[in-house]
Chain A
Amino acid sequence: DVKVTQSSRYLVKRTGEKVFLECVQDMDHENMFWYRQDPGLGLRLIYFSYDVKMKEKGDIPEGYSVSREKKERFSLILESASTNQTSMYLCASTLRGPGANVLTFGAGSRLTVL
Chain B
Amino acid sequence: GQQLNQSPQSMFIQEGEDVSMNCTSSSIFNTWLWYKQDPGEGPVLLIALYKAGELTSNGRLTAQFGITRKDSFLNISASIPSDVGIYFCARAGGTSYGKLTFGQGTILTVHP
Contact = CB atoms under 8 A, between A and B. Distances in A.
A40 B9 contact: yes
Contacts of A31: 97-98
Most chain B Cβ neighbours within 10 Å, of A43, A102, A105: A43
Interface residues of A, number: 30
A4 to B, nearest CB: 7
A92 B42 contact: yes
A107 B92 contact: no
Contacts of B48: 101-102
B92 A101 contact: yes
B104 A41 contact: yes
Contacts of B4: 42
Given A102-B45, A102-B48, A108-B42, A33 B88 contact: no
Interface of A: 4, 31, 33, 35, 40-45, 48, 50, 58-59, 90, 92, 94-98, 100-108
